[in-house]
Structure 1
Amino acid sequence: MLSVKELTLVTDEQVAWEELGGGIKRKVMSYNDDIMLVKVAFEKGGVGAIHSHPHLQISYVSAGTFEITIGDDKKVLKEGDVYFVPSEVLHGAICLEAGELIDVFSPMRADFV
């Protein structure tokens, strides 16, 4: 796998998809110790299970439609929408229409590399 740590100019073709199962795959596009950007593609019906982590997360819906849950809040978001996840807050996603999320984490997710 191509090392994208601190890679400054990244083309989509340079990074291979990692199959996660359940109709979900991801690409870690670039990162350093402080920040990471990840593309996550979902098939319709794909579920990002409810979970939490110490990282701050902000995500952009680049395609598709998702039901996003953050803590006690739930909302349907579509292409062009954004959500923010504070540290240690339970959150998850259900893909209603095939799409893609662009996730940014701070600090980087060591468990993704």
Structure 2
Amino acid sequence: MIDNKAFFKDSESEWEYAAEGITRKFIGYNDQLMAVKVKFEKGAIGTVHNHVHTQGSYVASGRFKITIDGKNEILEAGDGFFVSPDLSHGAECLEAGVLIDVFNPKRKDFLNEN
């Protein structure tokens, strides 16, 4: 993925391993913003973690149990969530689906730019 690319075509992008049962594609990014398509298999766990990035996520498909700062909510297609910097959060996939995650600033760790 080249940063500042104006268009994303799903058919021209490869999935990459993120964690057990989780793969992702970068929709686009620059230093200030990153959008990522994340696919979960049923039962996959996005372990509880925190980071300095602001995160907004949209449930494109599937059903997820989302945990933010110790609170749980079941979300499905059309729903979304927002995570302020440094709040612990995670996801459990109840029905296979896709999240669209947006981060500010970009996730250098996703790009191995630590």
Q: Do both proteins adopt the same fold according to a TM-score greater than 0.5, normalized to the shorter chain?
A: yes
Count residues in correspondence: 111
> Could you give the per-residue CA deviations for residues 4-26 of structure 1, whole angstroms, max 9, x where no partner exists?
30000111112110022411100
Q: Superposition RMSD on alpha carbons, in Å?
A: 0.8
Question: Paired residue for 1:63, among 61, 68, 83?
Answer: 61
Whether 1:10 and 2:2 are equivalent positions in the alignment is no
Q: Residues 4 and 29 of structure 1 are in contact (CA less than 8 Å); yes or no, is this contact kept in structure 2?
A: no
Spell out the pairing of 1:102-113 with structure 2 (5 A cutoff): 102-113=100-111
1:1-113 to 2 correspondence within 5 Å?
A: 3-113=1-111
Structure 1 unaligned regions, length at least 5 = none
In the superposition, the TM-score normalised over structure 2's length comes to 0.94
Residue identity over aligned pairs, in percent, reads 48
In the alignment, the residues of structure 2 paired with residue 106 and residue 21 of structure 1 have an alpha-carbon distance, to the nearest angstrom, of: 22
SS at match of 2:109: helix
- Asked if the contact 1:65/1:99 (under 8 Å) is kept, the reply is yes
Distance 1:49 1:21 in 2: 9
TM, length-normalised to structure 1: 0.95
Q: Does the Cα contact within 8 Å between 1:67 and 1:93 map onto a contact in 2?
A: yes
Gaps of 5+ in 2: none
Q: Secondary structure at the match of 1:58?
A: strand
